Each structure stands twice: as C-alpha cells, then as structure tokens.
Amino acid sequence: MSEGRTSESGLPIEPVYGPGALDGWDPATELGEPGEYPFTRGVYPTMYTGRPWTMRQYAGFGTARESNERYHALLAAGTTGLSVAFDLPTQMGFDSDAPEVTGEVGKVGVAIDSIDDMRTLFAGIPLDTVSTSMTINAPAAVLLLLYQLVAEEHGVPATALNGTIQNDVLKEYIARGTYIYPPAESLRLITDIFGYCRTEIPRWNTISISGYHMAEAGATPAQEIAFTLADGIEYVRAAVRSGQDVDEFAPRLAFFFVARTTLLEEVAKFRAARRIWAQVMRDEFGAQDPKSLMLRFHTQTAGVQLTAQQPEVNLVRVAVQALAAVLGGTQSLHTNSYDEAIALPTVKAATLALRTQQVLAYETDVPATVDPFAGSYAVESLTDAVEAAARALMAQVEEMGGAVAAIERGFQKAEIERSAYAVAQGVEDGSRVVVGVNRFVAAEEEAYEPLRVNPAIEAEQRERLRVLRAERDGDEVAKRLDAVRAAARGTENVLYPLREALRARATVGEVCDALRDVWGTYRPHDTF
C-alpha cells in the first residue's frame, strides 16, 4: 500500500480508516476490511491509493476508420481503456446491406461487418497493453472472435488480451431489446463463451452483467441491483449445469452499473451489491476462490439524466455522478459527454468528459483513502435499506423460478415501467426538479452544432461487403458456415467453428444467420 497523503492543511490522510479512528464510534454493523469478505468496503485492499480506476471512454460511430481516429485521440488524451459502441445492425447480427437495417448503419455506433472492418477499427492500437470493452450482447461471441483474430495478426497472443464483452442477453429481454435467439439458446452461447475463454483467452472478462440499461429504462437503484444480480445467478447456474466448476469461471464475471446524481444512494447501492453477491456466491454456489466472491464492476454516468436544454449543465451532472461511482468503489468508469442528449459526442466534449475523471483522480483527495464513507450514519443506513429492498425483489424472482421464468412472465419489465412512469409523473408535476427543464429554464437557448454521421456511410459499407464477397473463397465460407450449424445442433462449443468461419471472411450477419437457422429467433410474449 502506498504512503498516506496529507490534506491541504498538512494533516495526514490515512489509507484506511476503521472503528478506532474516532473515539466513541460504534458502527451498527460489522463492515469488514477492504478487500475482504463481504467486500462492502471494496474488492481490493488498496483500491485507488496505489493507482486510479480504469478511465474507459465509450466511443464508436460511422465507419471503422472514423472510430479508429477517435480511439487514437482518446488514448493521446490519457484514457486508459477503450470501450466500443457498435451500431444497431451489428448489435442485432445483421450486415450493413441487410434490408432490415436501412437507415441505421453507423448511427449509434460503429458498423462492423467482417474481419476487414475489425482490422481497420484497431489499426495502430496496442492490443497487448490496452484494455478493450465491447458493448455487444447477442453477437458477443462473434465480435470477441474477430478481436482475437485481429490481435493474432498484430502478433499479440490471445493469452495476452485483456478486456470485457458485455454478453448479457437476459437484460436485453427486460429493458433494451437487442436480442436475437431465445433464452435457452442464448444461455448456451454464453456458457460456450465462458468455456472458450477459460482455455483460449484466460484474462478476458467473459460477461458484464448489466444493470445500466435497466436503470436507463427507469429502474430504481434497488431494482437495478436486484434484477442484475438475479441475472447473474441465472448465468452462474447455467454454467454450473454445463459442467463448469464455479471457481473456474466466476473470477472473470464482471458487472456494469449506472451512477446517478443521487450520490448518497448510489454509493450505498454499490456497497450493497458487493455484499449481496459475495454472500450468494459463497453460500449458494460454494465458491472457494475469493475472486469468485468479488463483484467487480464498470460504471457509466447516467445518460438518461442528461438534458438537451442547457447542455453545459450536464458537465456538472456528470461530475457528481462520476464522484458517486468513485466513492462507491468502481473498477472502471465512463463519463458521458455533455452533448450526448443532442447527438454523438464531439471530440471536445469527449475530451472534457475524460478530463472530469482526471480531475477526480489527480486533483481531489478522494483516492487517498479507501471507502471514505465507511461508518457514515447516512450511508451505512442507506446501504442496509437498499440491500433489504433488493433482496426482497430477488426473492420474488426466485419464487417465480428464477430470472428467465420471471422474464417470460414480464415481471422485471413491468416493475421497471412502473418506476419509470412515477419518475415521468414527478418531472411533469414538478415534484422532481430537473434543472433547465422544469425549473430554472433559460429564456433562450444557445445554438449548438452537433456531430453528424455522414449518410454516405451505408453505401460505403455496402460496397465493402460487395468487394469482400467477390474476393473471398465462397466455397470455403459455405463449408465453415455448415460447421457452425452442425455445432449449434449438437453439443460442441460453437465458438471454435465460428472463429474459423470468421477467419475465412464470413460476415457478422452470415454467422448470426447460421445460428438463426438452427436456434430461431426470440419473439417476446405480450404480458400486458
């Protein structure tokens, strides 16, 4: 552990405080030590006293070339990890020339159709040292394999790769909608990813179980962690059923949460989530490795709380949200840009978002001590209250037969929609203040020039696909796609034939269609 810092007054700041730090202090609950069960105070003993969290900016738009330029700019500005945003066609497993996706290519992320695009996306990026997170779910296996193949071309072995795929399909059925296959087949694919990475890419985080999108859809903090942890339990059960030992895959599980402006409850939420997960993994699944008990998570500031009105005010919101994440003990953080309620972030806005993290890391004293709120009457009480509320919701999910059964009944979705409606009502009647929207409204808004995606991108991607299909060995691709279908029908790990199909320059849409041919697609039930 590094030496403690001093305050502006020259007073010592201890790396860790405990009950003996304040005479007469008697905490209501046993908190434990940082880095020890139940990890309420953080998953590592030193937290940020040795080094700050990973500063991971989420970026991707238009073509792979444009996104690559943005990644180089972010790395030059000091970001320590990349986070890739994919466009909707890629997220849904369609190629850019599919009729279903006309008008959506490159709009909300980067278009990736084949290994050719992936090569361009990561050109000049040191994949042996940069940690890369990819926000991709139903086709997560496909994008991970493309990343591995490109890394091999860079001379970087798969064993050296470090990063995360979101790979959390259950939350797609609940809150977001970019699913492809039915739940059972989706779980099969996820457990195949667990097994593949254990052997081939051992440093990779195989799933980022996400509450962020539930929160963006309207979930309360208690609902966010309850439904996220319930999904996590479902994934662990599926992996155990497939014959994997819990301590072989659990250390590579990761989570993804939101950070709102309600700072105190957010800190309490993160602490409660760690405590619940540690207990579940130890008591329900019998995990022995301490790393299996650790809830490690990435945080993104709350995009849903950003406003198009007076967008500069979002800089303040993002700073408060980022502070909540850091005080709550996040392992990595993405700070939203102030202009994201209007359009894709400009370079200036993305740089300012990164600078927000750098100010917290290097100009404040927050990283000087572990878990600064430990023992706070307010935060400890809120931690207990959020934990109790989350456990009650998790118990309801269990009574229905687990997360998948509850999803089929529409339980999580209905609960989140009720919460979202209550928030909307509060904004409408003024009981929930949103600065610049329903109070402190500006008489006149300044003009803002947003970043615009070139509509010619779709035609460019279609042409790239035409050239690819003309150049490659069509018979070899067909043979490799048949192998994918055969694996999907059987019990073989599907990632191995998927990898070889992608190596032969099969497209994202083609390999996803091969799985669709066998597994079908999910059709949600109308529960209302």
Rounded distance between C-alpha atoms, residue 300 and residue 58, angstroms: 9
410 torsion bin: left (phi>0), alpha (psi -120 to 50), beta (else): left
Q: How would residue 320 be classed by pLDDT, with cut points 50, 70 and 90? A: very high
For position 147, what pLDDT does the model report?
A: 98
For position 377, what pLDDT does the model report?
A: 84
The encoded tokens of residue 118 equal 């992936």
Instruction: Look at residue 96 and tell me whether its pLDDT is greater than 90.
Output: yes
pLDDT tens readout for residues 132-150: 999 999 999 999 999 999 9
The encoded tokens of residue 310 equal 């007076």
- Which residue's structure tokens are 């444009």? 66
Burial 20-33 (b: 16+ CB within 10 A, else e): eeeeeeeeeeebbb
Domain locations in the chain as residue ranges? 41-429, 472-519
- Give percent above pLDDT 90 in the chain: 84
Rounded distance between C-alpha atoms, residue 407 and residue 525, angstroms: 10
- Note if the pTM is more than 0.75: yes
Those residues whose C-beta lies under 8 Å from the C-beta of residue 440, and which sit 6 or more positions away, are none
Rounded distance between C-alpha atoms, residue 132 and residue 121, angstroms: 12
Cβ-defined contacts of 144-147 (< 8 Å, 24+): 144/193, 144/197, 144/201, 144/204, 145/495, 145/498, 145/499, 145/502, 146/112, 146/114, 146/115, 146/118, 146/502, 146/508, 147/118, 147/122
Instruction: Look at residue 470 and tell me whether its pLDDT is greater than 70.
Output: yes
Residues 512, 146: contact at Cβ < 8 Å?
no
User: What values do phi and psi take at 343, rounded to 5?
Assistant: -165, -175
For position 3, what pLDDT does the model report?
A: 59
For position 441, what pLDDT does the model report?
A: 94
Pairing, β 54-59 against β 332-334: parallel
For position 314, what pLDDT does the model report?
A: 97
The CA radius of gyration of the chain, in Å to the nearest whole number, is: 23
Second-level CATH architecture of 41-429? Alpha-Beta Barrel (3.20)
Those residues whose C-beta lies under 8 Å from the C-beta of residue 488, and which sit 6 or more positions away, are 494, 514, 515, 518, 519
Rounded distance between C-alpha atoms, residue 192 and residue 374, angstroms: 40
pLDDT tens readout for residues 174-203: 998 999 999 999 999 999 999 999 999 999
Going by C-alpha positions, the residue among 168, 106, 94 that lies closest to residue 133 is 168
pLDDT tens readout for residues 381-427: 889 989 999 999 999 999 999 999 999 999 999 999 999 999 999 99
